[in-house]
Amino acid sequence: MFDELCPSSLNPIRFGDKWAPLVIRCLEGGPRRFSELRVPLRRVTPKVLTASLRALERDGFVERTVHPGPLQRVEYALTPLGRSLLGPLEAACAWAGEHWDELLDAREAYEGRQQAG
C-alpha cells in the first residue's frame, strides 16, 4: 500500500519547512525583496529565512532574481509551480480557521483526562 517512499510521506505535501507556508503567503501579492520579507517575518532570523528561500528555490517554487546595476536588488517571486501551491495551502488555512478551536478544546480535554488518570 504505502510500501515505497510515498510522495505524501515527504515534505512537499506538508508545504516545506516550518516557515515556508508563511513565506509563500508573503509572496502571494507579488515579488518581494529579502528585507521586505524580514518585516512580516521578523521572528525569523536571516539564516533561517535564507535556508527556507533556498529550499523553495531548489524545488522550483520561488525564483530568485538579482537586479543588477547601481542599487542592486534581490527579488523573490513565486513561480507558476509555486502559485499552484496556493490552492492546497488555502484549503489548509481555511481548515485551520474553521476547526482551530475544536483542536484546542480537544487538547485541553485530553490534558484534563491525563491528569485525572
> Quick one: what does residue 100 bind among DNA, its own copies, none, with the CB cut-off 5 to 8 Å set by partner type?
its own copies
Assess 25 for contact with its own copies (CB under 8 A): yes
CB of 59 to DNA, least distance (A): 13
C-alpha cell at 94: 481555511
Assess 116 for contact with its own copies (CB under 8 A): no
C-alpha cell at 54: 533556498
Please give the order of strands across the beta sheet that includes 73-78: 32-33, 73-78, 62-67
Q: Which residues pair with 63 in a beta bridge?
A: 77
Assess 46 for contact with DNA (CB under 7 A): yes
C-alpha cell at 11: 515534505
Q: For residue 82, give the nearest of 20, 5, 11 by alpha carbon.
A: 20
By beta-carbon proximity to DNA, the closer residue of 39 and 98 is 39
Assess 47 for contact with DNA (CB under 7 A): yes
By beta-carbon proximity to DNA, the closer residue of 18 and 99 is 18
